[in-house]
Each structure stands twice: as C-alpha cells, then as structure tokens.
Structure 1
Amino acid sequence: MTDTLEIYVDLNNDQGDTETTLVGRCRYIAKRNSQSSVFEYTEKWLKHPQAFAIDPANLPLDRQPFYTSSSKSALPGALRDTAPDRWGQQLIKRAFRKAGENRALSEIDYLLAINDRTRIGALRYKREHENSFDHNIGPYRVPPLIQLPALMNAADAVQTNTETADDLRLLLNEGSPLGGARPKSAVVDNEGLLAIAKFPKPDDDRSIPHGEVLAMKLAKRAGMQVADAKLQDVAGRPVALISRFDRHKSQRIPFLSAMSLLGLSDGDEATYIDIAECIRMYSSEPKADLHELWRRIIFSVLIGNLDDHLRNHGFLYDGEDKWRLSPAYDLNPVPASEKTRELSTWISDAGPDADVDQALSAAPYFALKNKQALAILNEVSIALKGWQSLARQLGMNPADIAVYATAIKP
C-alpha cells in the first residue's frame, strides 16, 4: 500500500492574515512485514522567508529526500507526534470494525482519523488530490463543556466494551490530543478555547483527575511553567480540564516531543542530560530552559511523577528556527504501591532512581551552580509543604490523600 500526504502549516503574513502553506510531501509505503516513508520539502517552502525545519533532528531544512524505516514507526518524528495515542488508536480500531472494515490499519489511517482542528501542534494534512483537511469526515464541532456527561458516558462504554457506533463517533470526532492511554476528549471551555477533558476510568482505585490537577497546581506554585488545569464535577465524578498550550487563540503553534527533537523513537532511551544538550542546540533561551528543566526534575522526584517518558516533555516553535520548552503537562504522582521510585527518563547515566542527590550532582549540566540548585530545591520543597490542604480544597477525599501521601515527599 502506498499513500502520499501533503503537509501544511498556517503562517501569519505581513497583513496579519493566515496563509495555509504547503511545506512538503511524505510518501508512505506499507508492506506485509515492513513500512517506510520518504519526505521532501517543497521548493516554495525552502525559499519561504518564514521557513523552518518542522523536525530538526529528522528533517533538517534541505532539498534532499529524507527516508524513515522502522518496525515501530515509519513516520518522521514531527508527524508521529501528531498521531493518536493508545486511547485514540483503540477508538479508531473499534470504529473501523463497526463500519465493517476489518483490514489492517496503516499509520496514515490513524493519522488522518484525528480531526484537523484538534490535532496537536501546527501540522495539517491532506492526501494528494483531497480538497479538505477533514478528509470527508463531514460537519464537525468541538463539544462545549455542557456535553461532558455524554462524553464521559461514551468513554465508560468503551472501557467496559459496551460502546455503540454513536459513542465512538462522539469521542473519535473530537480527536485524541496529547499522549497516554487514559480516556480523553477535546472540548471547548467557557472562554471558547480548546482544552483536553481527561476522564476517570470505571475501575480506578483512586481519583486520577484529582491527582493530576493537584500536581499541576503544585507545579505552578513551585515556579514552573505549566498548562492551566482545573477540575469539573460531572454527575458526581471528577474530570480534569487541561488548557491547550499549542494554541494562541486560533493560531496553531508547532509542537515537538523531546523524543522527536532528540531524533529518537518509542523504546529508545535518553537521559535528562541528553534533553539538556538538545536545549543547548535548539532553544532560543537555553539558560532559562535548562533551569526550568532541572526544576521539573526536582519536582518530579519530590512528588513521585515517575511516568516522565520522552513524550511527556515537549517543545514549542519560537521563530527563527528555534524552539522553547513547552509548559509542563501529564504530571501524575505515582503511589508507592504501584511503582518503585524510579524515573522513566533517567536524570543521568548514574541510574533511574528518583533521587535528590543524583539531581544535585547533575546540576552543572543544566547551567546551575550548587548554590543555585540548592535554592531551586528549597523553593520546590516549600511549595509542596501543606499540599494536603490544597488537595482538600480540590475536593480530594481522605482515602486518596493517604494514597498520594506515599508519592509526595516534600
């Protein structure tokens, strides 16, 4: 099977209008036991005054074709970052089956099943000869918060394998934004801005939404750049609402995961020191981003945010071929009963332990002197003091507070 994608971005011109500009084409080839792709920038994009490499590690701004071949993914990192996560893939598989299509789905099938308006980042896709970015999906409107009960009921049905075609249509048409396996949907908040609604699962043994919103608010208190987060009660159950930081009103902002900016794929390993080197290469404000990243390391160590894999660190395009560390997202304290105190992304080659001393030893790699690092450690520790009071303000029950106390160690 061969499929060719046209890849576009929206740019603001001198008059303040938006121009949708063709960046390049990606030819995808899927065989029974292999998959590959070749990407080429268009000549118009290479000459465009606002041109930038959409994926600096894998697709530098050059006229040559770029080949990607892997048993995991044949999409370049920038495209892979916009594809659906495990939750989205689950919805798409079931929707295709209910429609009577039992064929194996390609990465392009998954990629184009995500709605254009809600897709993460700035890349927009058409198949060759298509006239619309919506791929003939039909009329579409991101649901307002008033539809949260229907969305949560549909998500529950998927979790219990009782979903209908209408349930899948409701969830799938809203897309599946930033990664993970948790049920979620795009929504429009009361200010008319895009947000992610993250739902509880029927078999959760604690309130995951409470834990995430608590972590996000503690992160902000600790001086970190973080996506806005709040809780919404839906029929007596908590839903986390996370603002989309890859949008400025209607403007789309290019996004890359740390995995892609490092030129890596799922399953590849890297350390925070490797991300620091990446910041030195690509950031428009490297010192500020290095200090911010180290603050996030300390925060993750102290709250037990152990699922800090390379997709859970992001970068936003900042102009002139430079990138900035995105606001923090997907922060979740992990109780001691579920996982040993090991970070998914190691601080350094010294090992996976979520250890303050190891973080302090690595501080020079983040442009920090020992006195500066100790000051940040103190600031984060103070911000976490009395976290139980904030948890109660958010409506967390005593049993969950006791569970999260095994993760948060200020």
Structure 2
Amino acid sequence: MSLDRIFCWYLGDPGAPCLIGEVRLEANARTCILRLEPDWRASGFDLTPGTSNANDLHATEPGLRAPGALDDAIPDQWGERIIRVISRPSRMSPIDLLWYAGDRRFGALGISSSPTEYRPFPEPPLLQAASIREAEEVIGRVMAREPLTDRERELIASAGSLGGAHPKMLVEEDGAEWIAKFPKGQNVDQLLIEHASMELARRAGLNVAESRAVRGGIDHVLLVRRFDRTGDRREHAVSARTLLAREGDDSYATISGLIRKLAAPGEILAQQRELFGRMAFNIMIDNTDDHTKNHAFLRREDGTWGLSPAYDVPVQMNGLGVQAIQISPDPRMLNRFDREHAVAAAPRFGMRPEEALAEWNRIAGHVALWRDVFAEVGVTEGDLDYLADFLDSPEKRGYRKDATPPQNDGLDGGLR
C-alpha cells in the first residue's frame, strides 16, 4: 500500500495524541513537506529549533528527506532493509518509510493514516529480552537473505523503526524498551567492546545511555536503554545533524554553539563541557565514525533543549586518525584531531584554554585505563591485544602524555 498523504501526531503523552499536520510528497518523490494544522500552529511548540509555527508550510532542508525533526523519525539503512523484508512496500519514498516504521520510532512524533484519530501502522508486541537468541538467529537469516516465516517476520518487526547500519531491533526488558544490537561476524567481540567503551565513558564522568552486554550465540549482543522514553512519556528529540542543516558547518564547536542557543541558561556551561569531554573521548578511543546523527537533543517541558545521553561510542579499530566531525571550523586546523586544536577551540566550548587542557588530561587519565576496564567487563585477552594496536598506538599514547590519574573509580559492568 502506498499512501498519498500521512498525518504527523505529537505523542509526548501517548494517551492524549495531538495532531501536528499533514505530510505529502514533493514532486521529486524523494522529499516531503509538512503542512501544520491551525490548532498546532496556535498552541503547539516549534518541532525543530530555528523553524516557526508562524509558517504553515515546512519544506525539507538540503541533505534531509523530511522537514526538521520529522527527518529523524525516518529509519535509515538497517530499518529500511527490515521494512523491505517485513512489509515489502511497492514504493520506498520518505512517506512510505515514515508509515511502515510503525509506532516505536525515535522521539515523540507518530505517523497515522488518519487526521481524526491516531492510527499507526500495526505492529506485534515487543520481544522480551530473554528471547534474544531466537531473534539473533532470525537476524542472521535476514543478513543471509534467506526467506522468513510469518512467525519470524513478527519476531523482528520492531527493527523497522530503527536507523544506523548495524543490525538491531527493539526488545522489552524490566518494563522498558531497549535497543538490541547484534554482531556482524567480526574478528573481535565488537559489541562487548562497545559496551566496555560505554562503561569507560561512564567512569570518565560522561553522561552515557545505560547499556548491558548479554551473551548471544557466539559473540555478545548489546542492549542500550532508550533515553527518549521516560515511563509512559515519549521525549521529543532532534539529532544534531538535523539542527546543523541550517548552520553551514557541522563541527563539534558548532554543536556547542547550538547548546549556547538552546539549553537552559544555568546548564549551558556544563553541557558544553560535557560535549568537549565526549569529543576528547571519541578521539582517544578511535571512534572515527562519531557523526552528527550520533548526537541528539531532548526537548524539556520548559521549552529548552539538552544533550541526550551519549550513545554509539564504539572503538572503530581502523587507525585512520581522522574523525567524522571536525573539532572546529578553523580552516588552519582542518583534520587536526589533537590536544592543541581542542585547547585552541576552548572558547567555543565556554572554557578557558587551561580548563580545556585540564579536561582533556582528565579524560586521558580514564582512557589510559582502558585495558583494565575492558578486561573487567569481560573482553578476552586476544581481543585486548588486538585493540592495543589501535588504542596504544604512538599517536593515541601521545594524546595521554600528561594524563591525570582518575580518582574514586568504580565498575558496574552490566554483564550477564
């Protein structure tokens, strides 16, 4: 089924959905437009900072497929693959992807076939995390392009709402929704390593999404608790990529500028320091794929915005030395991902150079202990030796040359 139009609803309180407006395809069939309902224009909030409800028609920014926050509600790569396998639509336009993604998408926006009541694409109940191995087998069949039974299609239906390239699906654990990421048959236990990296970031005092590693068929499966769900509430969320569409630059320093514009006044400096710490951490652990869709902002009830917990912080193990996000837009520092550039950019993060230097060295002190933390989480000696080729390379050791030893370190590995 291909729809000519769909309707966007706000589901902050799923028990009281609010109609936002109508979504239609543009003539190119590759982007769509959003026409706001009069009631939402009068009493709703701006879905994306920088846009205004004074305008009833919202077009798509270059590089996106839908207007503002609606683009973040579209699944990509893995989610699109699952939609092709499970729903097999005859068309794969942005409207179709929005519709078939169902009711468990990122953030608090929902898609309905009706403007008078919220009627999303029907989905089966979530799989319980205890059945993760059964789901892993089905994911493997998808990866192998094998046909699925109706039961198997139902089992992994929740995967259609998710983005990213890694195989994943939603599961339920302890009454909450978790994203389960599955291994892809790499030469190391990649997802246990990612959990260890998240634990290392937590030890470094960074705000990181809750994670657990559970044993799969061969390697571990990573569970990450959704941070856009608080009890029964859904949190409105927008990725940094979407917010940066109008900025003309997508460096960490420009993301810091978004914090200065959007955060509550009393939280700006703390959030800018948090972003600086995440940047330093990603550089030091070889997370070269830390792109702008891996940073998000959550809308608060008072209309301000705050950084979401960090997520997707794996060790990439490629030794490229070039990050996906520049530290700053300074052309003299292009592709320099070192302490000197970070310290020079300190004012862009609301910090004095000496504060930035101290924060870099503080993060370095925690990263220097990566091997101990990873071992306690359960990473094998063989995988640790392989990781050392990247994390203890001369370049990475150079980042830690003046590391400040951490104090009062503790571990809750979350391994079962």
Give the shorter-chain TM-score range.
0.7 to 0.9
8 Å Cα contact 1:195-1:243 kept in structure 2? yes
2:11 maps to what in 1?
10
Percent same amino acid at aligned positions?
28
Partner of 1:359: 342
2:52 to 57, 60, 68: 60
- Give the superposition deviation at 1:301: 1.3
Q: 1:374 to 1:339 in 2, by over 3 A?
A: closer
AA aligned opposite 1:158? V
Q: Matches of 1:129 and 1:251 in 2, distance apart?
A: 22
Identify the residue that residue 188 of structure 1 maps to in structure 2. 172
The 3-state SS of whatever aligns with 2:390 is: coil
What pairs up with 1:112-127 in 2 under 5 angstroms? 112-116=99-103, 118-127=104-113
Q: Does structure 1 residue 76 correspond to structure 2 residue 67?
A: yes
Write the deviation string for residues 67-124 of structure 1: whole angstroms up to 9, x where unpaired: 2275x54411311111112111112123345xxx5x33211111121230x2110001
CA distance in 2, matches of 1:69, 1:30: 15
Per-residue deviation at 1:238? 0.4
Contact 2:253 2:328 in 1 (8 A): yes
Cα distance change, pair 326–151 in 1 and its aligned pair in 2 (3 A): same
Map of 1:391 onto structure 2: 374
Which AA in structure 1 matches 2:322?
E
Whole-angstrom distance in 2 between the partners of 1:2 and 1:96: 14
Q: 1:298 to 1:132 in 2, by over 3 A?
A: same
Matched, 1:109 2:96: yes
Alignment-mate amino acid for residue 80 of structure 1: D
Distance 2:311 2:284 in 1: 16
Contact 1:36 1:74 in 2 (8 A): yes
User: Which of the residues 229, 234, 249 maps onto 1:247?
Assistant: 229
Counterpart CA distance in 1 for 2:282 and 2:111 is 35
Distance 1:180 1:240 in 2: 14
Listed one character per residue, the Cα deviations across residues 323-361 of structure 1 (whole Å, up to 9, x for unaligned) are 1011100001122xx241101011113212331221111
Q: CA separation in 2, counterparts of 1:282 and 1:245? A: 19
Cα distance in 1 for residues equivalent to 2:346 and 2:138: 46
Instruction: For residue 180 of structure 1, report the CA deviation from its aligned partner.
Output: 1.6
Q: TM-score, normalised by structure 1?
A: 0.87
| Structure 1 residues without counterparts, runs of 5 or longer | none
| 2: CA distance, partners of 1:104 / 1:310 | 28
Aligned alpha-carbon RMSD (Å): 2.3
Aligned to 2:413: none
CA distance in 2, matches of 1:235, 1:305: 26
Q: How does 1:278-357 map to 2 (within 5 A)?
A: 278-284=258-264, 285-335=267-317, 338-349=318-329, 350-357=333-340
Q: CA 1:40 to 1:390, structure 2 compared with 1: closer, same or farther past 3 Å? A: same
Partner of 2:135: 151
Query: Cα offset for 1:224?
Result: 0.7
For 2:145 and 2:296, how far apart are their aligned partners in 1? 33
Aligned residues: 386
The Cα shift of 1:263 comes to 2.5
Q: Which moved more, 1:156-165 or 1:297-306?
A: 156-165
Q: Which residue of 2 aligns with 1:47?
A: 42
Tell me how far 1:25 sits from its aligned partner. Answer: 2.1
- The alpha-carbon distance between structure 1 residues 180 and 11, as it changes in their structure 2 partners (threshold 3 A), is closer
1:157-216 Cα offsets, whole Å, 9 max, x none, are 111222414434422345443x32110010111x211111111013x1222102211111
Task: Report the Cα offset of residue 2 of structure 1.
Answer: 6.8
Question: SS at 2:188's partner residue?
Answer: coil
Distance 1:238 1:292 in 2: 29
Kept in 2: contact 1:211–1:404 (CA 8 A): no
Within 1, Cα distance between the matches of 2:159 and 2:223? 15
Q: Partners in 1 of 2:313 and 2:261 — Cα distance?
A: 26
Give TM-score scaled by structure 2 length: 0.86
Letter of the 1:54 counterpart: L
1:80 and 1:69 mapped to 2: Cα distance?
A: 10
Aligned to 2:78: 87
Distance 2:40 2:198 in 1: 38
Q: Residues of 1 paired with 2:369 and 2:312: CA distance?
A: 22
Would you say 1:171 and 2:156 are equivalent positions?
yes
Q: Which amino acid counterpart does residue 324 of structure 2 have in structure 1?
A: S
Query: What SS is found at the alignment partner of 1:321?
Result: coil
| Contact 2:252/2:326 (8 A) holds in 1 | yes
Inter-CA distance 63–300: structure 2 relative to 1 (3 Å threshold):
same
Aligned-pair CA distance for 1:133 = 3.2
Matches of 1:9 and 1:40 in 2, distance apart? 14
Mapped contact 2:61–2:67 kept (Cα < 8 A): no
